[in-house]
Amino acid sequence: MDNLEVLLTKQGEAFDAFKKSHEEQIAEIKKGMNDPVLAERLGKIEKSLDSAVEAKASIEAAIKAEKKEREDLEARINRHGIKASGEAEAKRELELKEFNITLASLAADQKKQFVQLDEKAYADYKSAFNSFMRKNDRLLTPEEVKTLSVGSDPDGGYFVTPDTTGRIVKKVYETSPMRQYASIQVISTDALEGIEDTGEAGAGYAGEHATSGNTTTPQVGKWKIPVFWIDTEPKATQQLLDDAAVDIEAWLSGKVADKFSRFENAEFVTGAANKILGFAAGYTFAADSGSGVTWGQIGYVATGVDGDFAASAKGDKLYDVMGTLKNEYLMGAAWFTRRSVITDIRKFKDGQNNYLWQPSFIAGQPETIMGYPVARMEDMPAKASNSYSLAFGNMKEHYQIVDRQGIRVLRDPFTAKPYIKFYTTKRTGGGVVNYEAMKFLKFGTA
């Protein structure tokens, strides 16, 4: 928590430095100059702001993990029936008890391995080991050296184990946290259906002796979101599963789960016809002047510049996008875009010279644009000609995720001997159900 407070302080200092440098850059541009040193300094400050936002998320995740670790520790203490006067004493007793259990298990495994050793191989190894202890390795015969290199752990192998304490370095893959914002429903069939209530009843003036004559009856429609199969089939040899120093099966399971998550997130954002429909690419878009668009289409506001924000008053179009969203959807609304677009918006100001983007100074709260939270969706398209790279709206009202079945693994040791195949499947789907709850900024002229 102390690290988080320090990070928030440094983030505030970096933002102040960014504002000062940006002001200096604007002043230089107005004079017809462009100081490369100032531009370089501004770029470094922007990178530090990005790093601070990402580090804040990492620290919050670490705090969550620490809480889970503490809960797991309490569960282990309760499982072993340990009673102690304090936390430190309880930890010591737990470590001692689990150490004894592990030691007993290792002793049993070692005994089993020893019994299973080929008697001749063991005798050869023991003879070579005795020669090594008496003569040293320079006087051993080639056969003794070979025997010694594949020998038994109990007779010296434990003394030459490799150092495996190095950390595992993992590549970070960016994704879009759609499940944090969209609506999610688990079903027991192959599709989810619902009603579209888009019509309204009629009304008119009536008199004392006459009716208005209005007979308008509201109409309803239906929407449907099917689920799709996602699968993969990694494999490993039985020997690797048996002998590896790490749990290969658990490692594969974690990698597949991570890939499934990133795959479905990308589809929820940019999926197309005949598969999961993405909210930013799978539907028809129409220009919205503020009065709304035809149901079944998603409204947008154009920047007026092909592939970029407007040349001046860049933030005005963000206000225009907000103005097209009905008041009922503002509660729970957020901005959805990728990191590169956020970097541009970070420099925008309003008419009172205030920056539209603001960092978060409170743990657990996201950065904001014009007072509304920002969701970083790295699967949204980058700025390009006529791209829909920025959205504003209420994702929970707008997009529905449907889960038929979570990740399921079929362990197959028969069809690809000596490999074990892990056929992994998941069934999920997604689609827009409320077309007016999200508006886009189109990077185009119209």
Q: In this structure, what token pair is assigned to residue 62?
A: 């670490």
Residue 385 lies in a domain: yes
Q: How far is CA 70 from CA 63, 64, 89, in A?
A: 11, 10, 15
The Cα 333–Cα 397 span in angstroms is: 9
Same domain, yes or no, for 321 and 441? Answer: yes
What was the pLDDT predicted at 156? 47
pLDDT per position in the chain (446 positions), as tens? 556 566 667 667 767 777 776 676 666 666 655 667 666 766 776 777 677 777 777 777 777 777 777 777 677 667 667 676 677 776 777 676 776 666 666 666 655 655 555 556 666 666 666 666 555 555 667 676 666 555 545 544 434 434 445 566 777 788 999 999 999 999 999 999 999 888 888 888 888 888 888 888 787 889 999 999 999 999 999 888 888 777 888 888 889 999 999 999 999 999 988 899 999 998 999 999 989 999 999 999 999 999 999 988 899 999 999 999 999 999 999 999 999 999 999 999 988 899 999 998 877 788 999 999 999 999 999 999 999 999 999 999 999 999 998 889 999 999 988 999 999 999 999 999 999 999 999 999 98
Same domain, yes or no, for 238 and 124? Answer: no
The Cα 108–Cα 130 span in angstroms is: 26
Question: With the CA atoms of 304, 310, 316 and 319 taken in that order, what torsion angle do they form, in degrees rounded to the nearest 10?
Answer: 60
| Domain region containing 136 | 118-151
Q: Which residue, among 441, 396, 390, 435, has the nearest Cα to 294 in the 3D structure?
A: 435
- 51: number of Cβ within 10 Å: 14
The Cα 198–Cα 425 span in angstroms is: 37
Same domain, yes or no, for 381 and 436? Answer: yes
Sequence length of the chain is 446
Same domain, yes or no, for 230 and 325? Answer: yes
Residue 16 lies in a domain: no
Same domain, yes or no, for 294 and 397? Answer: yes
Q: What is the largest CA-CA distance in the chain?
A: 124
Same domain, yes or no, for 400 and 276? Answer: yes
The Cα 384–Cα 300 span in angstroms is: 15
What was the pLDDT predicted at 240? 86
> Which residue matches tokens 């959805």?
336
The Cα 176–Cα 270 span in angstroms is: 11
What was the pLDDT predicted at 91? 72
Under 8 Å CB-to-CB from 442, ≥6 apart: which residues? 285, 300, 301, 302, 303, 386, 387, 388
- 36: number of Cβ within 10 Å: 7
Same domain, yes or no, for 435 and 309? Answer: yes
Under 8 Å CB-to-CB from 129, ≥6 apart: which residues? 148, 151, 155, 156
Same domain, yes or no, for 436 and 333? Answer: yes
Under 8 Å CB-to-CB from 282, ≥6 apart: which residues? 270, 271, 272, 273, 276, 431, 432
Residue 288 lies in a domain: yes
The Cα 195–Cα 201 span in angstroms is: 17
Same domain, yes or no, for 123 and 193? Answer: no
- According to DSSP, residue 308 is labeled B
What was the pLDDT predicted at 191? 95
Same domain, yes or no, for 257 and 128? Answer: no
Under 8 Å CB-to-CB from 48, ≥6 apart: which residues? 14
Q: What is the CATH number of the domain that holds 321?
A: 3.30.2400.10
Same domain, yes or no, for 276 and 243? Answer: yes
Residue 84 lies in a domain: no
Total domains present in the chain = 2
Same domain, yes or no, for 145 and 224? Answer: no
Residue 36 lies in a domain: no
Residue 131 lies in a domain: yes
Q: Which residue, among 197, 378, 370, has the nearest Cα to 280 in the 3D structure?
A: 378
Residue 355 lies in a domain: no
Residue 436 lies in a domain: yes
